[in-house]
């Protein structure tokens, strides 16, 4: 655009600065969003880096602390950290205030876990540093600076729990592990002080290495918009090409060289008068680039900014939704990826963890089995220990005692100072707590020593942990080698049953164990095997050497060496028993899963539990239902797994084709020959997955089988396998389904990041999942509202935004394409550059309001009918069909927008408003009103904000026009245009006609769609409205009646004391529980109170005035009456206060009004969102009062009837006004008409100017008789046809510098013809911008009439726009060619550019047939009067087949003559009334069922069972894999 404007490569139809500033505005908004995030990130980084800690410094012989910033610490620095302080770098713990140098740390900033973890210094080093003075910080500081140690650590790694280093001290080498490692950002707890040495700083610390941005997730909607933009750009290129072809065809026909004349036919369009190509590039390429610039709004540059604004506010609504706020944990929902808000409404597959996600992750030991006997009872409130204690016999039963000792010793649990267990997993805490209940209580841990208090023993037992083989997802077990109080060694093991049994001794009774395991699993309990093995001192010594060597290894294989060492000792295990831990389902999990299934979402549960446990939980939470066929793939054999898969898939394919499937070659439990395709569930183990996921063919068969099943449960799966399953579904199904992964633990992180949408649950396993997720909630049940309500709303909102943005920009560009046909396809813009580029700004706010606030149905309706979620799941609102519909709509609306003003053009031109900028601004205004009306039509929910935003948008548009219209320096041509345009009545008539016509077409199409092709969504909107209306009516009547009865009871039925129901009826409420019988009133010296239990209206905060008098009997002189109180036993819906059982909540009624609830907010959570008691709260809860009236046939007919009446009324007024505007034209050059046949009495000489080389002018007389009476003033116009004053090069040459004489022109003089350099041809004179093509008129008869040639231009043109330059006319002799020199004998030197004919001419005409005011007659004329004009014709029109005319007019209140437009409006009114009549007949004869709750339920049930169209069975390749 800049190149085209400031060079001659190609023409630019728009001013570059107008587009640059708008582009800067759009990009600036995006930058503000990014800068906001960067600012907070930089602020947080600065705060972190400026945080201080204390370094231990040796100053001579004195040791002191030196405060330093975190950023200043270096490797090798000694750091002392006190209780509740964070570690400034990655440290190795040297010693602490505790025994053996132990320290307790909280790693919530690292892994999200809030439980305390034990860190242990090297015991030998800690003893040296403590110097025998436990807890003496000064001694430890002094010795730490004087002790020579060397730490050799491996390279920095992002693995949080991996640290390999060795400590060299006094000639000995000691291994250092993660248990001695202190992470930067973790906090010291329950420890007075700790001293550490820095090993990693800054970007090498683990927290920084793990702080990489999460994988960038772009929503499906964003990717769809990208694809649409590619298509739009291609379509733009096609349209540009069509326009250029039109230009080439037009120019070949109209811009032709005339050898007989010596110049081109349309000579006035050739600036140089020599060649049609005045650009460096060839004409075709030059105009292609010009049109590409002109049609730049084909691609809406603001679409992403608009989507970002909507997404941002949608995220705010999610964060502040009080219905998904957990009061128990004070946790609100968190939206971390606002660009995925709409993705929540498109989910097809949910991958869910079980423990902590579906269950509470509050572990309780409920049963154990030792030997052949099982202990515990699920009916018991806790762990029933009576039978176990009896059999234990105070330790006489060694198997039971050893079982309990393993539970109380083999763990990593620590106790805080209050004796509360702090465990890394809830399972461990449950087992330790269970052992404590029976009498074996773990009391404290001091380094490697653990004390266990046995109930019947006076002194605690001390066990020494010699080595720990840590748990990992690969090992699925943990073990430790322990030295008993008697000095013997024992291996203690806990782990998964299949893992432990593989390493059990040969005499193990596996059958009995499996019986217990199956029984517990069937009860939904989590099971572990507990075992031990006696170890001799020699075996221990030999193994300990292997273990220590592995621990000291600094290579990358330390982990493998430690696993090998563990494998060497974990054998011949004596299985002591089984533990069974209960993890109850979370509240409403079953109902949530059922509703998600009704919404058409498939659920895959991925868990590490046993098969039986997972299946039992599946039935409990209704993932599995009794009539479902459960297919199990649990074999460890690769061959069996492949065989079963092949048989199942073969039967499945036969069933899908309606054929009889072949018999299965495997066991009958996997035979699906007689199974309905929609009633299958699949259970698969991690071992089976390990074989399947390695090869494409079985993986494809598994995917095909999983797609056919209603639910898939994967058991015993690792975190990596969870992610692989998500990836398999994403990549294997085409089109790619939208997936959601939800979990609560660190083992769910990879799954969450792999899915399209990751949801983390803030659970007992910490915040790891929540911290990396896109959305975080505190309970699984909140997923229902997150998806069905927020997701669905956001999807439908953003789809409306996208389709609307493309629609309006298509409309804008198509109007330019239509207009280009009237400009010779020269690429002239119909709109002023700044007006054109402001279009997206004017139309941005209303659609943003829809994108944030619109609700097609209420949340209650969506939750009642989950099948409505199908809109997003099937992508019904943004697909090819919808895009085509909006393109066709844009074509229809753009035609309406252009052609209504086109019909009014003659009337506008008659009153001097036919200029390009007036006409273009009229069309632009009609376009803005039409697309804004479209916003109103697609808005379902009207709130105060929606109405305000729409009103503000219109106001800002008119304000922009009015301000820009007087900004002279910004646009010389646009000056005063809006004021002249708005001052014309025809402008307001057209401004009504365009949107009203568009409304008619839209309403008719909408009615046809709903009446003959109704969808579930149509029924939903109608049913929602009917349910809301019925509910409000019944509830309000009930409320008014009951409140009135209570007040009457309070007043003892005294006369004149009744409640004013007018205010009560203003109360909005959602539910009201009828009061039960209880004392309804009480009176006392401090006033009165009346009470009603049950739930109060949600909007009771509104003031409800009553007529209750002073209740203080006998005292009428009280000036300060005591407040009255209204009591209710339960808080209103959506509010929670500190209400105690049996206590009433007071509602202040001081001054005889309800003022709202007097809540005790002290106990409310700090993260609790605002409720509906304030306007802001109602806005954030999306509960603003709203108007929601669906377009039922009745409403449609009413609206169309009103529109039809206005069409009749306004059309009639226009026709009547047009009758007063008289018009008479006589064409005297070009293709003249036979005026005799028209009834005219016309006499004129031959005025046609022959295009001869020696002829410059011709004079003739024209005499004609008036056909109508004409009132003063009468205007004389100069009319031209087929004259392209709106040609781009012609318009582009209109600049003030050329008009005020500051640009020199070649040649000192200029007559009509000018000889060229060779002297053998004559060329037109002057450049296009300085051409004065008016012929001259003189009124000769009647002699008493005078034609005035003043006051014919706009006032602002005379007073402001056209002024001669300073020093005029003297500068005309100093090398500047002034206007009087360009047109000698026509423009007087005294006038210059102040010649009014010139001013009129320079208001460029919009169309190629126009009229220009030439003079006025201040007298009235009668029909039959004869007028005679002398015409001097100054240029030929025959070369370009044009025409000239003299036109006589007078005006009316409507402006010019607009009869055709008035008739068109009346015709539209007739069409509207006829349409309404047809609609009414259809409703009488064939009425459609209006949406009701019952009809919606029926439709929703049908929709729920619909296949997903394009996402059914996927075509298979030859190898049998699903693509």
**What are the catalytic residues?**
353
Q: Is 1457 exposed, middle or buried (0-12, 13-18, 19+ CB in 10 A)?
A: buried
Q: What is the rounded distance in angstroms from the CA atom of residue 50 to the CA atom of residue 1463?
A: 78
DSSP 101: G
> Encoding tokens for residue 1011?
């009446």
Strand, coil or helix: 868? helix
Q: What is the rounded distance in angstroms from the CA atom of residue 241 to the CA atom of residue 1180?
A: 49
**Taken in order 777, 778, 783, 789, is the CA torsion positive or negative?**
negative
> Encoding tokens for residue 697?
């063919």
DSSP readout, 947-963?
Answer: HHHHHHHHHHHHHHHHH
**Are the C-beta atoms of residues 547 and 467 closer than 8 Å to each other?**
yes
355-377 burial, b at 16+ Cβ within 10 Å, e below that, comes to bbbbbbbebbbbbbbbbeebbbe
Please report, for residues 230, 953, 1034, 1180, the alpha-carbon distance to residue 1184 in angstroms, rounded to integers and kept in the order given: 39, 21, 21, 9
The backbone torsions φ and ψ at residue 161, rounded to the nearest 5 degrees and listed phi first, read -100, 20
Please report, for residues 386, 1430, 1433, the alpha-carbon distance to residue 1249 in angstroms, rounded to integers and kept in the order given: 124, 15, 7
What is the CB-side half-sphere exposure of residue 1298 using CA atoms within 13 A?
17
> 1169: which residues sit within 8 A by CB, 6+ positions away?
319, 320, 321, 322, 325, 332, 1177, 1180, 1181
Strand, coil or helix: 702? helix
Residue 1473's CB is within 10 A of a number of other CB atoms, namely: 17
Q: What is the rounded distance in angstroms from the CA atom of residue 49 to the CA atom of residue 20?
A: 40
Strand boundaries in 598-657, DSSP class E? 602-606, 629-633
Please report, for residues 472, 613, 761, 768, 1195, the alpha-carbon distance to residue 745 in angstroms, rounded to integers and kept in the order given: 14, 19, 8, 6, 53
Strand, coil or helix: 1438? helix
Please report, for residues 292, 301, 809, 850, 1288, the alpha-carbon distance to residue 297 in angstroms, rounded to integers and kept in the order given: 9, 7, 6, 22, 19
Q: Which residue matches tokens 């409703």? A: 1483
CA-based nearest residue to 344, from 371, 315, 304: 315
Strand, coil or helix: 374? strand
> Encoding tokens for residue 1058?
């009744």
* C-alpha radius of gyration, the chain, whole number: 44
Query: Is the peptide bond preceding residue 1210 cis, with omega within 30 degrees of 0?
Result: no
**Are the C-beta atoms of residues 99 and 134 closer than 8 Å to each other?**
yes
Q: Which residues pair with 1323 in a beta bridge?
A: 1314
Q: What is the rounded distance in angstroms from the CA atom of residue 1100 to the CA atom of residue 1035?
A: 13
Strand boundaries in 1092-1199, DSSP class E? 1125-1128, 1145-1148, 1186-1187
SS (H, E, C) 316-356: HHHHCCHHHCECCCCECCEECCHHHCHHHHCEEEEEECCCC
CA-based nearest residue to 1069, from 1021, 1134, 1158, 1125: 1134
Q: What is the rounded distance in angstroms from the CA atom of residue 1425 to the CA atom of residue 1345?
A: 12
């Amino acid at each position: 655009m800049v190149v085209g404007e400031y060079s001659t490569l190609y023409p630019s139809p728009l001013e570059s600065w107008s587009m640059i500033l708008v582009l800067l505005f759009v990009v600036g908004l995006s930058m503000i969003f990014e800068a906001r995030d960067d600012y907070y990130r930089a602020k947080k980084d600065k705060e972190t880096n400026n945080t201080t800690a204390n370094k231990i410094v040796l100053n001579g012989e004195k040791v002191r602390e030196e405060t330093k910033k975190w950023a200043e610490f270096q490797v090798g620095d000694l750091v002392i950290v006190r209780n509740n302080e964070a570690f400034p770098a990655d440290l190795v713990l040297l010693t602490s205030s505790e025994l053996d140098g132990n320290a307790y740390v909280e790693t919530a900033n690292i892994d999200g876990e809030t439980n305390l973890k034990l860190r242990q210094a090297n015991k030998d080093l800690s003893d040296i540093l403590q110097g025998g003075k436990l807890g003496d910080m000064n001694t430890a500081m002094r010795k730490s600076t004087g002790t020579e140690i060397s730490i050799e650590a491996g390279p920095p790694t992002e693995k949080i729990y991996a640290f390999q280093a060795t400590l060299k001290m006094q000639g000995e080498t000691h291994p250092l592990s993660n248990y001695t490692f202190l992470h930067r950002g973790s906090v010291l707890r329950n420890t007075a002080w700790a001293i550490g040495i820095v090993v990693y700083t800054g970007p090498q610390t683990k927290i920084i290495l793990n702080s990489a941005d999460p994988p960038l997730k772009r929503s499906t909607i964003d990717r769809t918009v990208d694809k649409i933009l590619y298509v739009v750009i291609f379509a733009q290129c096609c349209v540009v090409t069509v326009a250029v072809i039109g230009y080439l065809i037009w120019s070949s026909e109209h811009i032709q060289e005339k050898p007989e004349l010596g110049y081109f036919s349309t000579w006035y369009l050739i600036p140089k008068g020599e060649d049609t190509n005045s650009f460096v590039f060839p004409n075709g390429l030059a105009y292609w680039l010009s049109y590409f610039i002109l049609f730049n709004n084909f691609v809406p540059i603001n679409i992403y900014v608009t989507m970002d604004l909507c997404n941002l506010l949608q995220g705010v609504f999610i964060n502040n939704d009080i219905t998904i706020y957990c009061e128990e944990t004070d946790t609100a929902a968190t939206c971390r990826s606002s660009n995925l808000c709409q993705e929540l409404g498109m989910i097809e597959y949910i991958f869910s963890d079980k423990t902590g996600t579906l269950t509470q992750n509050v572990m309780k030991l409920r049963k154990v089995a030792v030997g052949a006997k099982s202990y515990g009872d699920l009916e018991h409130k806790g762990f029933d220990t009576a039978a176990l204690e009896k059999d234990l016999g105070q330790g006489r039963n060694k198997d039971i005692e050893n079982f309990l000792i393993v539970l109380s010793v083999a763990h990593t649990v620590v106790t805080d100072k209050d004796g509360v267990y702090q465990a890394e997993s809830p399972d461990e805490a449950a087992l330790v707590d269970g052992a404590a209940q029976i009498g074996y209580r773990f009391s404290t841990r001091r380094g490697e020593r653990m004390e266990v208090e046995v109930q019947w023993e006076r002194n605690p037992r001390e066990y020494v942990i010699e080595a720990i083989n840590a748990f990992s997802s690969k090992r699925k077990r943990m073990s430790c080698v322990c030295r008993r109080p008697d000095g013997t060694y024992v291996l203690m093991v806990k782990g998964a049953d299949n893992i432990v049994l593989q390493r059990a001794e040969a005499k193990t009774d596996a059958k009995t164990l499996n019986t217990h395991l199956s029984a517990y699993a069937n009860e939904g309990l989590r099971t572990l095997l507990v075992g031990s093995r006696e170890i001799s001192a020699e075996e221990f010594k030999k193994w300990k050497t292997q273990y220590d060597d592995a621990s000291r290894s600094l290579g990358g294989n330390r982990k493998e060496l430690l696993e090998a060492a563990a494998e060497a000792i974990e054998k011949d295990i004596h299985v002591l028993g089984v533990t069974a831990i209960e993890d109850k389902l979370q509240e409403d999990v079953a109902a949530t899963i059922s509703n998600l299934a009704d919404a058409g979402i498939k659920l895959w549960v991925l868990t590490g539990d046993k098969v039986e446990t997972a299946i039992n939980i599946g039935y409990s939470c209704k993932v599995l239902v009794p009539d479902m066929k459960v297919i199990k793939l649990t074999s460890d054999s690769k061959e069996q797994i492949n065989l079963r898969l092949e048989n199942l898939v073969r039967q499945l394919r036969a069933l899908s084709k309606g054929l009889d499937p072949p018999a299965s070659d495997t066991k009958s439990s996997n035979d699906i020959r007689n199974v309905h395709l929609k009633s299958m569930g699949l259970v698969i183990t991690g071992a089976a997955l390990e074989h399947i996921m390695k090869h494409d063919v079985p993986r494809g068969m598994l995917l095909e089988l999983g797609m056919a099943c209603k639910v898939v449960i994967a058991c015993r799966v690792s975190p990596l396998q969870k992610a692989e399953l998500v990836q398999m579904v994403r990549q294997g199904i085409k089109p790619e389904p939208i997936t959601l992964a939800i979990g609560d633990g660190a083992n769910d992180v990879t799954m969450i990041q792999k899915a399209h949408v990751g949801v983390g649950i803030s659970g007992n396993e910490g915040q790891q999942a929540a911290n990396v997720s896109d959305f975080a909630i505190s309970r699984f049940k909140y997923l229902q509202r997150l998806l069905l309500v927020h997701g669905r709303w956001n999807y439908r909102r953003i789809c409306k935004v996208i389709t609307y943005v493309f629609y309006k920009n298509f409309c804008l560009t198509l109007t330019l394409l239509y207009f280009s046909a009237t400009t010779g396809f020269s690429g002239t813009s119909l709109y002023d550059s700044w007006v054109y580029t402001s279009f997206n700004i004017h139309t941005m706010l209303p659609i943003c309001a829809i994108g944030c606030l619109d609700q097609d149905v209420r949340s209650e309706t969506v939750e009642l009918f989950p099948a409505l979620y199908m809109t997003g799941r099937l992508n019904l609102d943004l697909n090819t069909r919808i895009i085509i519909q909006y393109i066709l709509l844009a074509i229809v609306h753009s035609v309406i927008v252009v052609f209504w003003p086109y019909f009014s053009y003659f009337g506008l031109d008659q009153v001097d408003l036919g200029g390009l900028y007036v006409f273009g601004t009229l069309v632009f205004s009609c376009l803005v009103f039409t697309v804004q009306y479209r916003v109103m039509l697609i808005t379902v929910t009207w709130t105060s904000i929606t109405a305000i935003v729409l009103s503000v948008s219109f106001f800002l548009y008119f304000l922009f026009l009015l301000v820009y219209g007087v900004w002279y320096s910004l646009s010389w041509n646009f000056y005063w245009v809006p004021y002249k345009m708005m001052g014309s009545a025809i402008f307001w008539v057209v401004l009504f006609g365009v949107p009203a016509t568009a409304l008619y077409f839209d309403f008719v199409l909408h009615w046809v769609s709903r009446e003959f092709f109704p969808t579930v969504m149509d029924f939903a909107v109608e049913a929602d409205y009917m349910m809301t209306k019925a509910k409000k009516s019944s509830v309000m009547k009930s409320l008014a009646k009951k409140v009135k009865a209570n007040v009457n009871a309070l007043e003892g039925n005294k006369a004149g004391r009744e409640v004013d129901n007018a205010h009560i009826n203003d109360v909005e409420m959602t539910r009201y529980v009828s009061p039960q019988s209880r004392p309804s009133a009480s009176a006392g010296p401090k006033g009165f109170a009346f009470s009603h239990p049950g739930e109060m209206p949600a909007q009771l905060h509104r003031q409800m005035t009553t007529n209750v008098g002073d209740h203080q009997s006998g005292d009428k002189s009280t000036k300060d009456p005591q407040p009255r109180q209204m009591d209710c036993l339960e808080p209103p819906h959506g509010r929670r206060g500190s209400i105690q059982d049996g206590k009433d909540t007071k509602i202040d009624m001081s001054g005889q009004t309800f003022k709202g609830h007097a809540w005790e907010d002290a106990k409310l959570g700090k993260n609790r969102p605002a409720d509906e008691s304030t306007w802001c709260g109602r806005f954030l809860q999306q509960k603003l009062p709203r108007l929601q009236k669906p377009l039922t046939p009745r409403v449609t007919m009413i609206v169309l009837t009103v529109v039809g009446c206005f069409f009749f009324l306004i059309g009639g007024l226009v026709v009547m006004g047009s009758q007063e505007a008289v018009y008479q034209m006589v064409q005297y050059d070009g293709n003249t008409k036979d005026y005799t046949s028209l009834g005219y009495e016309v006499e004129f000489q031959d005025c046609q100017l022959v295009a001869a080389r020696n002829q410059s002018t011709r004079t003739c007389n024209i005499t004609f008789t008036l056909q109508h009476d004409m009132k003063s003033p009468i205007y004389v116009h100069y009319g031209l046809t087929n004259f392209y004053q709106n040609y781009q090069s012609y318009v582009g040459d209109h600049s003030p510098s050329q008009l005020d004489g500051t640009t020199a022109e070649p040649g000192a003089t200029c007559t009509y013809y000018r000889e060229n350099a060779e002297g053998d041809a004559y060329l037109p004179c002057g450049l296009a911008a300085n051409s004065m093509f008016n012929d001259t008129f003189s009124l000769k008869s009647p002699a008493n009439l005078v034609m005035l040639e003043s006051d014919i231009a706009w006032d602002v043109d005379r007073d402001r726009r056209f002024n001669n330059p300073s020093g005029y006319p003297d500068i005309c002799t100093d090398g500047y060619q002034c206007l009087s020199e360009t047109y000698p004998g026509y423009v007087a030197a005294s006038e210059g550019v102040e010649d009014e004919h010139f001013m009129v001419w320079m208001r460029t005409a919009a169309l190629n047939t126009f009229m220009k005011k030439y003079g006025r007659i201040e007298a009235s004329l009668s029909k039959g009067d004869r007028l005679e004009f002398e015409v001097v014709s100054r240029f030929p029109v025959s070369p370009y087949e044009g025409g000239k005319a003299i036109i006589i007019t007078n005006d009316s209140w409507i402006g010019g003559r607009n009869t055709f437009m008035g008739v068109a409006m009346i015709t539209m009114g007739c069409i509207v009334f006829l349409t309404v009549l047809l609609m009414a007949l259809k409703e009488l004869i064939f009425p459609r069922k209006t949406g009701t709750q019952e009809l919606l339920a029926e439709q929703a049930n049908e929709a729920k069972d619909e296949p997903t169209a394009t996402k059914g069975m996927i075509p298979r390749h030859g190898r049998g894999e699903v693509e």
